[in-house]
Amino acid sequence: MRMVRQPAVAGHFYPGLPAVLGRAVGTLLDHARGVAEFPPLTPKALIVPHAGYVYSGPTAARGYVLLEPSRAGIRRIVLIGPAHRFGFSGLALSSAAAFATPLGEVALDHTFDAGLLELPYVIAADRYHAPEHSLEVQLPFLQRVLDEFVLVPVVVGDATPEQVAAVIEAAWGGPDTVVVISSDLSHYLPYDDAEAVDKDTVQRILDLRWPLPDHAACGGRAINGLLRAGCEHHLQPALVDRRNSGDTAGDRERVVGYATVSFTETAHKEGHDDQS
Cβ atoms of residues 97 and 108 within 8 Å? yes
Instruction: Inform me whether the pLDDT recorded for 61 exceeds 70.
Output: yes
Length in residues, the chain = 276
Domains of the chain are 13-236+244-265 (3.40.830.10)
DSSP 232: H
148-205 tens-digit pLDDT: 999 999 999 999 999 999 999 999 999 999 999 999 999 999 999 999 999 999 999 9
pTM to 2 decimals? 0.96
Average pLDDT over residues 69-78: 97
Instruction: For residues 130 and 50, give the distance between their C-alpha atoms in angstroms, rounded to a whole number.
Output: 16
- Residue 267 has a pLDDT of 62
To the nearest whole percent, how much of the chain has pLDDT over 90?
A: 93
Instruction: Inform me whether the pLDDT recorded for 54 exceeds 50.
Output: yes
- Residue 40 has a pLDDT of 87
Q: Is the dihedral of CA 244, 195, 202, 86 positive or negative?
A: negative
Q: Is the dihedral of CA 127, 78, 14, 51 positive or negative?
A: positive
Average pLDDT, the chain: 96
Model confidence at 272, pLDDT cuts 50, 70, 90, reads very low
82-121 tens-digit pLDDT: 999 999 999 999 999 999 999 999 999 999 999 999 999 9
